[in-house]
Every structure is written in C-alpha cells, then in structure tokens.
A and B are shown apart, each in its own frame.
Chain A
Amino acid sequence: MSSTTDPHPHFEQQVADLHDYLMKFARLQLRNETWAEDAVSEVMVAALAKPQAFGNRSQLKTWLVGILKHKVIDAIRQRSREVCQSGDGSDNDEDPLDYLGFKADGHYNEPPADWGNPEQQASSRQFFEVLEACINVLPAAQGRLFLMREWLELSSEDICKELGLTATNLYVQLHRARLRLRECLELNWYGKALKP
C-alpha cells in the first residue's frame, strides 16, 4: 500500500491516538487486560482497513466505540463461561439491600438521601470518573453483566441467551450491582455534595 495515494493521510495517527480511550471501555467491560487488548487491536485493524474522513474527533470516537462494542460482544461470546465467574470468590450471600438500613418490620431507619433533581444535567467529567471507578470496583462478573445492560445496552433476555444464564441468576447479579453502585455514588459523590 503506497502512502502517497492515501486519501486520508492523518487517519492512522488519529486512530492510534484513541487507543487509550478505547482501552478504558474495553477494560471496564471485560475486566481482563488480555481480552481488552485483543478487542481493541481488532478495532484498530478493522478501522484502518476502512480509512475515512471524520469532521471531528468526537465523530471518530463514536465510530470506533461502535466497532468496539461489536468486538467486545464477540469476546464475551467466545468466553461466555469465564465471563460469569468472578474469580475472586469475594461475592458472598449478603444482600446489599441491607446497606440501606431497614428495621425488622421492613421500614427504613432513615429515609434515603435527596440526590437532587434526577433530570439535571449535573454530569461532568469528574462525575463520570467517579461513576467509572464505582463500576470498576464491582466484582468482575457483576461488573461485566451490569455493563452488558448499561454500556452494550443488551436486553436481559439477550444476556441470558448469550451466556446461558437463568433469568433469576442474572437478576440477582444486577440487583447487587445496582445497589452497590448506588452506595458507591452516595459515598463518593453525593456524600460530598450533600455535606460540603
């Protein structure tokens, strides 16, 4: 391939510059460095095979992330058994619902905190960093399943089908993941915002 006939001379560099950006999502979703590296490499190869011009970097990012999601789903499919195993065995039988503090009769000890207007566009880069950190501390299998819902935007039915999970099993994991994430955001974001 001759570079003098390349219609998009900066394309290769632009794609290469986004390697770390793509790795961040691949690591979060796959929770395995090798799998993440493989998926991102495949994105790079696929992208470089189809050089094209983008008006700005954010359009290029969106395009690459779209390819990454497909590669990540392939990776999950190939390793469906490992994906559901946490590996660290840290997930015991406790229900994170109990962190909320209920009395024996099922009432709240204290009402949940007011997080402010839920529609608010309060989201900033700093908030997303806290959110990503909170997702990253979920047990691995739980984090993967949670992001299959929230990043890959798969339906619960599709996740069960891809991974051979029962619906009950999936719902237990998602229930825990959501409650842990809520707890983590409250401690690390809203806690600060509520009590400055």
Chain B
Amino acid sequence: MMPLMRTCKDATALLVAREDHALAWRDRLALRLHLLVCKACPRFARQMFSMRNQLKQWRNYTTPD
C-alpha cells in the first residue's frame, strides 16, 4: 500500500472536493504528486478552474442595459 498514490478517479474527486473545503495535507500532497505525472487530470483541473472563474464572472455580471 502506497499511501500517497492516487488513481485518476481519486484525484478527480479531490479536485472537485477542494472547491468546497480544505483538503487534508496528505490528500493535498498526493494530489500534487499525481498531477505531476498524469496527463489527463491536469485537464480536469483546468476545467474546474474554468468553472470557478465563470461562476465568479456570472455572479458579478449585471446586464449592461
């Protein structure tokens, strides 16, 4: 058992979870290590970042009319 190994599925779940709460240090570290070696999960991370950014723009948006 390697305590800092995460599958893509686990890493993806952590990328979703960190939008709503702080991760435990072990998960933060494991996620970081996973993102370094994975090609797919950084794409998902960018999608989450896009959504965060878009939601922020949405709540600050007032129709200019």
Chain A residues within 8 Å of B, Cβ to Cβ:
21, 57-58, 61-62, 65, 97, 100, 102, 105-108, 111-116, 118-119, 121, 123, 125, 127-128, 131-132, 149-151, 153, 156, 167, 170-171, 174-175, 178-179, 181-182, 185-186
Contacts and interface: CB of A to CB of B under 8 A. Distances in A.
Contacts of B17: 171, 175
A151 B54 CA distance: 12
Nearest to A175: B16
Instruction: Provide the main secondary structure of the chain B interface.
Output: helix
B31 to A, nearest CB: 14
Given A125-B63, A178-B16, A179-B16, A167 B46 contact: no
Interface of B: 7-10, 12-13, 16-17, 19-21, 39-41, 43-44, 46-51, 53-55, 57-59, 61-65
A27 B54 CA distance: 20
Question: Top 8 A-B pairs ranked by shortest CB distance?
Answer: A106-B7, A111-B40, A118-B50, A118-B49, A108-B40, A106-B9, A112-B43, A58-B62
A102 B8 contact: yes
Contact of A156 (B21, B51, B54): B21
Given A111-B43, A171-B17, 6 more contacts: A58-B62, A58-B64, A112-B40, A118-B50, A178-B19, A178-B48
A156 to B, nearest CB: 5
Given A127-B54, A128-B61, A112 B47 contact: yes
A131 B16 contact: no
Given A97-B13, A174-B20, A182 B47 contact: yes
B24 to A, nearest CB: 13
A170 B17 CA distance: 11
B33 to A, nearest CB: 15
Contacts of B64: 58
A107 B7 contact: yes
Contact of A174 (B19, B39, B57, B65): B19
B57 to A, nearest CB: 5
A131 B8 contact: no
Nearest to A152: B59
A150 B51 CA distance: 11
A127 B51 CA distance: 12
A3 B61 CA distance: 33
A149 B41 CA distance: 24
A181 B8 contact: no
Which of A112, A116, A132, A179: most chain B CB closer than 10 A?
Answer: A112
